[in-house]
Amino acid sequence: MLRLNRRVAALKPSATLAMEARAGELKQSGVDIISLAAGEPDFDTPERIKEAARKAMAAGATKYTPAAGIRELKQAICAKLKRDNGLDYKPTEVMAAAGGKQAIYNVVASLFDEGDEVIIPTPAWVSFAEIVRLSGAEVKLLPTRESDGFQLRAEELKRALTPKSRGIILNSPCNPTGAVTSAEQLSELAKVMVEANLSVIFDGVYEHIIYVDRPPHLFAIEPRLKETGIVVNSLSKTYAMTGWRVGFAAGPAEVIGAASRLQGQNSGNPNSIAQAAAVEALNGPQDEVRTMAEEFRARNRLVVERIRSLTGFKLVNVPEGAFYAFPNVSELLGSKWPRGVLSDGNQVAEFLLEEAKVAVVGGNDFGAPEHVRMSYATSRENLEEAFKRIANAVRKLKS
């Protein structure tokens, strides 16, 4: 009898990638789909970054590199952490990886073990919990409330602690809610985390896509957290480089060393040409980052307005960062469509794909089954058209 590894057998597919793949297949088969599914900027990678890749390839940068990345990239990551986040790291304390996801996986697998509990405030990105489960540690989901701006409160964190609590994964701006944790809240949370000796994995992948003042980094607010905590980030969203697969982690040399050994055994270095492009992305002029963020701000306003005029969709909180809106669709639940009754966010996503030809991701795997996630990393024309289609489809629902 064929038998799979227990943890892999229990692994869910990534809901975000699965929906994006379905939308892609439908498009290829000739269906006119608008995708608000994957969180992938529609902008092209800036030319200066592509040019750095061309040059690197022409110069023969086509061989293995050290598993955790070339020295220039590690230095560029250290310089970025200083410039953007006010954090001091040495090259021995950083590693490059093939995407933020790989960085998180290798760090989580290096830090946590069976018998440990890792706290994940929800709604949360679909991959955090699955990555923690793969490590053998237990996931402790800690729901936040929509009426409270999806903010994790220090008292709630305190109440969720057990003798097994070892870590927490924080993500601000948050995918999928767009919530930004303020400096005051970060410092309240920091007190509890220091006291509980938690290793904090802080995912700042959307840090430049933010519509409020950017708060200082958690580890700048509370430097003691830096002693056991890890910064994870990626170039995917900031520089429109999703396909290049470059992410990174920074933390204590012991953890980064372990994660680098793990990477050395399971995949080796991130793509050598993408690393050269990443050096240029991080070290070169940062104007495109601001230009892209401004466009996301305009789309944010458009999307909030359109969602608020849709029947059955409630958007309590205006997203303050990232490029997602996470409306509550509970008013639609119980409605009938040709395939049955809408029972949760995933069903609403199915309905929108079939009836409106618009791909969104159901909230179930984000830990919020009464919601759907809409990515506005697509053009304003696409967004206008998508919301027209959604409005028409919803009109056809029967109660």
- Summarize as ranges the residues that interact with ligand GLU (CB under 6 A): 14, 16-17, 38-39, 101, 125, 127, 175
Contact 63, 77 (CB under 8 A): no
- Cα separation, 43 vs 243, in Å, equals 12
User: What are residue 372's DSSP bridge partners?
Assistant: 362
Residue 58, token pair as written in the block = 């022409």
- Count of residues making up the chain: 399
Shortest Å distance, C-beta 16 to ligand GLU = 4
Identity of the amino acid at 346 = N
Shortest Å distance, C-beta 63 to ligand GLU = 28
Whole-Å CA distances, 115 to 132, 137, 140: 12, 6, 12
Contact 122, 368 (CB under 8 A): yes
Question: Of the two residues 140 and 373, which places its CB atom closer to ligand GLU in the complex?
Answer: 373
Question: Of the two residues 198 and 358, which places its CB atom closer to ligand GLU in the complex?
Answer: 358
Name the closest residue to ligand GLU (Cβ).
39
Half-sphere exposure of 42 (CA within 13 A, CB side): 17
177-191 burial, b if ≥16 CB within 10 A, otherwise e?
bbbbbbeebbebbbe
Shortest Å distance, C-beta 42 to ligand GLU = 13
Shortest Å distance, C-beta 338 to ligand GLU = 28
Question: Of the two residues 243 and 340, which places its CB atom closer to ligand GLU in the complex?
Answer: 243
Question: Of the two residues 165 and 271, which places its CB atom closer to ligand GLU in the complex?
Answer: 271
Shortest Å distance, C-beta 184 to ligand GLU = 27
Question: Of the two residues 122 and 165, which places its CB atom closer to ligand GLU in the complex?
Answer: 122
Question: Of the two residues 196 and 274, which places its CB atom closer to ligand GLU in the complex?
Answer: 274
Shortest Å distance, C-beta 95 to ligand GLU = 19
Q: Please name the residue ranges forming H helices in 30-182.
A: 47-58, 71-85, 100-111, 126-134, 154-160
